[in-house]
Chains A and B, each alone.
Chain A
């Protein structure tokens, strides 16, 4: 889906060592400082409160706007409601003309970046100065911000020094404290001479008509204090109902944005305040507030995107995003970057502008975990992807592949053919999970496994199930990778549940879970897969349905229900399937786990959390316990165990250049743990990590939990026999 120009942008970003260095260093430091900042605070409770007050404001938007206008007006503000960015610009332009304003200072204003306000004012001959240091730097350099909170994170001190030198016509050394001093001196003049101040706000309190700005440098204080005319340009998403509601956001915003307990300055302005006029007298300021829609209302009126109102623009979703950390903000192409930026771009710019950036999302869900506004960003990006897929259709190869996958007979016979066809080729013919081989691409960084000689569905027929004290029946949903590439995992699953007293059945009609279609934006084929599997699995007849792939489990539990909402009969069956479907380690733990056992042979094991298992299902303690209860196994934690391995389904094919470095980081963390074996619960992660280790460190094995349990217990039995 990604076009050539976009790919080039990504390549350039990846080649930019400075950018990679800065983003990497920041990403590492951010995680730690954020944690420290929240120490002693209940993040869960805080985000509940933020979500509550912001969603109230979203569902009472007109009431909030009216109340804000009334209160602010009563305190001397002139309030204007701008439907479009153009309206807002015209209003400011006319005001500036009327006031004879020539020199403008700005602070805190992503909204003005959004509508390209500077251009309009400069075209009128006005001198417009950004006053936030980072924004001033990018303004001088003729660029736009690459991060919501740190606009110039992509530049080195050398580049800043050169930019200053060129602009100020005198040499600036690349010494950071000197550069900051220069900015102080230069901008001081601008503040003192300004006729007009323009700023945004982080919050607007409906109850009191108060605008709140959060800054560190002091520029917002100066902008809101010195000029005799001030305009606040405020997006309508900034509203909170009550004054104390702002307290929740004040607690979370700095902690999530920069890992500070609070910023150096918080300024709350209620109505027009006094200012010095040019004649030296102190008078009430000419004070304007623009409440701007510019596409926001459309976004909140859309049920699937209403929650974006809960965003407090802290940018923590960017800071933890594996893709953003590699490419930075400029690749996203518009003002708002990263996960939330992609969604905002879709509504505030255009769907077309969001088409490329939305592809960057790995769907790893790390952003949702840290979001203080409780937004499910990947879910919303997926919705966008689906809508785009429905509207524009997918590119031919993708569409063709997905059509094949959702045709069980064709797909399976192709896979069987592949297992034969691959023979003449060298090692590492590609098979990508859930996708037939002709779609996949070779990658430089990793080997790919071959299709198994005998698929699990055939292996299964020859497995003798030894069930003592029979308790019930479990249907095993294998998913394509276990069925056709890793049948051994299936054997492990069956052995474990047999030991617990369950007979396992393998419904032959099962097919791909539809995740590839779901994640590529092909809802039609995903729906087809859902129906095939619901009918095949007949959940009504078994006690449980188990899968050993978290992505499949997520499909069985959640996606099928959503896809079939419109069909009551199928929806009921989907509901039944959802209730009975569990991931391998979860079900095994729920059933009490295995009796302690194992061969006692020392084995140092580290565990990699799959994104779907940990963040979609909250399962991370269970597999660790299963492993620890196995005699001989010593579990050592790796750094960032829940960070995405870069597989992310078709992502690794679409963006091998991004998937590669993400995998590298994972491999580094695995190696550093000193483990002999890395255990995973997702066949996709297994394939990705195994491929990487094969090239980098073949001494470390990768294995699925079910398979490790099987291995250790088989060896135990052998030992006991001797």
Chain B
């Protein structure tokens, strides 16, 4: 993907995500992603996070950065910690520009990945800019080309929402109330 094409896809993604109340950022390096993450979480008053081990967070030494920023970082026992964590940080495999959608598609159907992105009030998703896919249909084809369909594939488009009472839109029901997406241009190894 050329630079212009990537930027075009990113812009499309950002517009769509913001239309469904998500926040979207783009940085060059994993390190910068860590800095941005600390800033964003501090602004939101987050004091502790569940951090899922993944390539971008490792490369960006996020555990250290968050610790230095005074945020308590939890990296295991997710079933116990995520119900009370202020935020969860995960890395997702793809992003669909057409819809502003994140795609979780780990080969091992990682249960912790799901807990860190579902039970927390704030979900921060890290994603490689190079993993932007233009459309939903191309995403389906991409998933199908994997050696096998991952046991759990999750599409996430903005925070959780409902309009079940009097058709009034309310953000944040059972899932996160806020969704923050940080795109990282720097190439890092594949998601662990």
List B contacts of A271 (CB < 8 A). Answer: 151
Partner of B164, one of A133, A187, A266: A133
A243 near B149 (CB under 8 angstroms)? yes
- Tell me if B165 and A157 are in contact (CB < 8 A): yes
Contact B152 A265 (CB under 8 A): no
CA distance A233 to B29 in the complex (A): 45
User: In the complex, are the beta carbons of B151 and A22 less than 8 A apart?
Assistant: no
Q: Is A184 a contact partner of B172 (Cβ separation < 8 A)?
A: yes
**A222 interface residue per 8 A CB criterion:** yes
Q: Is B60 an interface residue (CB 8 A)?
A: no
What chain B residues lie within 8 Å of A443 (beta carbons)?
A: none
Smallest Cβ distance from B66 to chain A, in angstroms? Answer: 25
A265-B172 contact given A150-B163, A244-B141, A270-B150, CB 8 Å threshold? no
Most chain B CB within 10 A, of A26, A176, A219, is at A176
A270 lies within 8 A of B151 (CB): yes
Q: Are A187 and B174 interface neighbours, CB within 8 A?
A: yes
Per the bound structure, the CA–CA distance linking A152 and B101 in Å amounts to 28
Inter-chain contacts of A157 with B (CB < 8 A): 165-166, 168
Contact A184 B109 (CB under 8 A): no
| A262→B154 contact, CB < 8 A | no
Once the chains bind, are A133 and B162 in contact (CB under 8 Å)?
A: yes
Q: For the complex, is A134 an interface residue (Cβ under 8 Å from B)?
A: yes
B16 at the A interface (CB under 8 A): yes
Within 8 A of B (CB), among A172-229: 176-177, 179-180, 183-184, 187-188, 191-192, 208, 210, 216-219, 221-222, 224-225
A187 to B162, CA, bound (A): 14
Q: Nearest-CB distance from A113 to chain B (Å)?
A: 16
- Closest CB-CB distance, A266 to chain B, in whole Å? 4
B99 touches A265 (CB 8 A): no
- The reply to whether A273 and B165 form a contact with Cβ atoms under 8 Å apart is no
A263 at the interface (CB under 8 A from B): yes
Name the residue among A151, A210, A250, A264 with the largest chain B CB count within 10 angstroms.
A264
Measured in the bound complex, the distance between the Cα atoms of B119 and A218 in whole Å is: 9
CB-CB under 8 A from B173, the residues of chain A are: 133, 180, 183-184, 216-219
Kindly provide the distance from the CB of A210 to the nearest chain B CB, expressed in whole angstroms.
6
Taken together as a complex, chains A and B put the C-alpha atoms of A247 and B176 apart, in Å, by: 25
| Shortest Cβ distance from residue A3 to the other chain B in the assembled complex, whole angstroms | 32
Contact A264 B164 (CB under 8 A): no
CA of A133 to CA of B154, assembled, Å: 21
A-chain residues with CB within 8 Å of residue B162 when the two chains form the complex: 133-134, 180, 216-217
Bound-complex Cα distance A457 to B166 (A): 56
Determine how close the nearest CB of chain B comes to the CB of A20; give it in whole angstroms. Answer: 13
User: With A and B bound together, what is the CA distance between A2 and B70 in angstroms?
Assistant: 70
From A156, A177, A221, A275, give the contact of B118 (CB < 8 A): A221
Give Cα A243 to B143, complex, Å: 9
B155 A262 Cβ-Cβ under 8 A: yes
Tell me, yes or no, whether B160 is within 8 Å of chain A by CB.
yes
Q: Which residues of B contact A221 (CB under 8 A)?
A: 114, 118, 154, 174-175
Nearest-CB residue, chain A, relative to B141: A244
Is residue A274 contacting chain B, with contact meaning CB distance below 8 A? Answer: yes
Q: Which residues of A contact B137 (CB under 8 A)?
A: 244, 247, 251
Residues of chain B within 8 A (CB-CB) of A29 are 167
Q: Does A407 contact B (CB under 8 A)?
A: no
Whether a CB of chain A sits under 8 angstroms from the CB of B134 is: no
Mask for B81-108, Cβ within 8 A of A = 1, else 0?
0010000000000000001010000001
Whole-angstrom distance between the Cβ of A482 and the nearest chain B Cβ: 44
* Chain A residues whose CB sits within 8 angstroms of the CB of B115 once the complex forms: 225
**Within 8 Å CB of B110, what residues of A?**
274
B133-154 interface mask toward A, CB cutoff 8 Å, 1 = contact, 0 = none?
Answer: 0001100110110001111111
Any A CB within 8 A of the CB of B158:
yes
In-complex Cβ contact of B157 among A153, A262, A272, A280 (8 A): A262
B151→A273 contact, CB < 8 A:
yes
Q: Is A318 an interface residue, CB under 8 A from the partner?
A: no
* B34 CB–A CB distance under 8 Å: no
Report the bound CA distance from A588 to B13 in whole Å.
Answer: 51
Q: Inside 8 A of B16's CB, which chain A residues have their CB?
A: 261
0 or 1 for each of A215-258: is its CB under 8 Å from B? (1 = yes): 01111011011000000000000000001101100110000001
Task: Verify A250–B136 contact, CB threshold 8 A.
Answer: yes
Q: Does B20 contact A (CB under 8 A)?
A: yes
Interface residues in A, total, Cβ within 8 A: 63
Report the bound CA distance from A162 to B118 in whole Å.
Answer: 29
Chain B CB within 10 A, most for which of A132, A150, A219, A225: A225
Determine if A280 and B167 form an interchain contact, defined as CB atoms under 8 angstroms apart: no
A243 to B142, CA, bound (A): 11
B79 proximal to A (CB < 8 A):
yes
Residues of B within 8 A of A112 (CB): none
**In the complex the two chains form, is A137's CB within 8 Å of B111's CB?**
no
A131 at the binding interface (Cβ < 8 Å): yes
Q: Measured between C-beta atoms, what is the minimum distance from B156 to chain A in Å?
A: 6
- Chain A residues with Cβ under 8 A from B163's Cβ? 150, 216, 258
CB distance B154 to A188 under 8 Å?
Answer: no
Shortest B109–chain A CB gap in Å is: 4
Closest partner residue, chain B, to A244 (CB atom) = B140
B residues within 8 A CB of A137?
A: 164-165
- Chain B residues in 8 Å Cβ range of A246: 140
For B164, list chain A residues within 8 Å (CB). Answer: 132-134, 137, 150-152, 217
Bound complex: CA of A183 vs CA of B170, how far in Å?
12
Q: Give which listed residue, B119, B141, B152, B160, contacts A268 with CB less than 8 A.
A: B152
Q: How far is the CB of B50 from chain A (nearest CB, A)?
A: 14
User: What distance in Å separates the Cβ of A213 from its nearest Cβ neighbour in chain B?
Assistant: 10
Q: Determine the distance from Cα of A224 to Cα of B159 in the docked complex, in whole angstroms.
A: 18
The smallest beta-carbon distance between B163 and chain A, in angstroms, is 7
Known: A184-B173, A221-B118. A25 touches B111 (CB 8 A): no
Q: Is A208 a contact partner of B149 (Cβ separation < 8 A)?
A: yes
B161 close to chain A: CB less than 8 A: yes
Q: Which residues of A contact B153 (CB under 8 A)?
A: 267-268, 270
A317 adjacent to chain B (CB < 8 Å): no
- A276-322 contacts to B (CB < 8 Å): 276, 280, 282
- Could you give, for residues 169-181 of chain B, a 1 whenever the CB lies within 8 Å of some chain A CB and a 0 otherwise? 0101111100000
Known contacts: A157-B166, A268-B149. The answer to whether A244 contacts B118 by CB under 8 A is no
Residues of A contacting B79 in the complex (Cβ-Cβ under 8 angstroms): 276, 280
Residue pair B165, A269 in contact (C-beta under 8 Å): no
A160 at the interface (CB under 8 A from B): yes
How far, in angstroms, from A75 to B148 measured CA to CA in the complex? Answer: 10
A219–B149 CA distance with the chains assembled, in angstroms: 23
Tell me which residues across on chain B come within 8 A of A243, comparing CB atoms. 140, 143-144, 149
In contact, A262 and B136 (Cβ under 8 angstroms): yes
Q: What residue in chain A is nearest B121 (Cβ atoms)?
A: A184
Give Cα A231–Cα B186 distance, bound, in whole angstroms. 42
Asked whether, in the complex, the Cβ of B118 is within 8 Å of the Cβ of A272, the reply is no
A266 pairs with B154, CB closer than 8 A: yes
Q: Which residues of chain A have C-beta atoms less than 8 A from B136's C-beta?
A: 247, 250-251, 262
CA distance A516 to B105 in the complex (A): 57
Residue contact B155 to A265, C-beta cutoff 8 Å: yes
- Would you mind naming 10 contact pairs between A and B with Cβ atoms under 8 Å apart? A156-B166, A157-B168, A176-B166, A218-B175, A221-B175, A225-B115, A267-B152, A267-B154, A269-B151, A270-B152
Additional pairs, 18, CB under 8 Å, beyond known A179-B165, A216-B162, A270-B151: A152-B164, A155-B165, A177-B170, A188-B119, A208-B149, A217-B164, A218-B173, A221-B114, A243-B140, A247-B137, A251-B136, A261-B99, A262-B101, A264-B158, A265-B154, A265-B156, A280-B80, A282-B111
**In the A-B complex, the 9 residue pairs with the closest CB atoms:** A218-B175, A134-B164, A266-B155, A268-B153, A273-B109, A217-B173, A247-B140, A218-B174, A218-B160
